[in-house]
Structures are given as structure tokens and as C-alpha cells.
Homo-oligomer: A and B are copies of this chain.
Amino acid sequence: MEERQRVRRPGGRAARVGAAVHQAVTDLISERGYGKFTVGDVAARAGVADSSVYRRWGNLEALLTDVALTRLNARSPMPDTGSLAGDLHTYAANVAREITGPEGLALLRLAVALSGNGQQGRRALDDLLAERARHLQSMLDRAGERGERAPDALEVLDHVMAPMYIRVLFGLDPLTPEYVDGLVDRLL
């Protein structure tokens, strides 16, 4: 693995294959849903050989995990606006944008599916959540260092993230800016 990565250049064939395969997975999850496609379907959609997918990712679960981790982590950079209120409002708006729309929803569903997917999926989801929690905590720590009274990361999860996730997962009312801001104001 290390050996192979060392010779991969950004923009090279490996990167192109990686991007095409990731996009194919995201498209298939949006169109068919989790559990409704095979490695062969992904390879065909990405225009690569099945063996390329197996060689790089091993199996479908590992590939799905890689896609979920990469996409969900790339999407929500933590804001640093100088105030806790500013940071939380921006962060909540970013998350709302990320999980709205077919692609974001598909990734959120994938995260839920991973949690039920044996050791490997479970560990992948734990890693993803731990990385998110670390980022969120460092945002809250910055507020504490400025002398602001910051909530716990778990309070942010329970009362800002969870309502948005559930509304999107259950297809309830759209996440309007007023609604998202209201969740943050209520917490602060």
C-alpha cells in the first residue's frame, strides 16, 4: 500500500481512477440506494475494470467506507469567524447545505448503513465521528480561550446536528436558514 502510494502522482492515472470510482459510488447511492449495486456496477459506471476496484479497495464495503470518509470530511471545514456564535451559525449552515440535496442525503444514509455493517463499517463510522468531534471540539476550545462560555460538543450534536440529520433522513420539512439559525440560537 505504502509502496503503491509513493509512486502515485496527483493528477496521474490512479487519481483519475479514484475520482471516477468515488463519483460512480456517489451516483449509484443517490440513484439506487445502499445495498442495491455491486462492484461490477461501480466499475462499469466509472469506466474501469472490476479488477482495478478490487485491487485498490479489496471489497465493496471498504470502497463505500472510503467514499463516505473522504466526502463527509472534505465537505465541512470548521469555520473560524472570531466568535462562538459566528462559528456555530456558519458551521450549522455548512452542515445543512452538505446534507441537503441528493448527494449529501445519500452520504448521510451511507453513514447510517455503515453503522450496521459489521466491524469494518462500525470502525469507519467511529473514525469519521471522532474526526468530526475533534474539529468541533477545537472550535469550542477556541471560544473558551477567548473567554466565551461554550457548550459541550455533545450538546452541539444533540441539539443542532441531530435535529437536522433526522429531518433530512426522514424527509421532513426543508432546513430553512431560519430553522438552522434557530437551533443555534436556542443552544447559545
Residues on A lying within 8 angstroms of B by beta carbon are 33-36, 105-106, 109, 111-113, 115-117, 122, 125-126, 129, 157-159, 161-163, 165-167, 169-172, 183
Pick the most buried of A113, A157, A161: most chain B CB atoms within 10 A of its CB: A113
Main secondary structure of the interface of A (DSSP, over half): helix
Contact A159 B169, beta carbon cutoff 8 Å: no
Number of copies: 2
In the bound complex, how far is the Cα of B106 from the Cα of A171, in angstroms? Answer: 19
B-chain residues with CB within 8 Å of residue A117 when the two chains form the complex: 33
With A35-B36, A159-B163 as given contacts, are A170 and B125 in contact (CB-CB < 8 Å)?
A: yes
Give the nearest-CB partner of A163 in chain B.
B158
**Within the complex, what minimum Cβ distance (angstroms) separates A171 from chain B?**
5
Contact A115 B166, beta carbon cutoff 8 Å: no
B-chain residues with CB within 8 Å of residue A126 when the two chains form the complex: 171
Contact B122 A113, beta carbon cutoff 8 Å: no
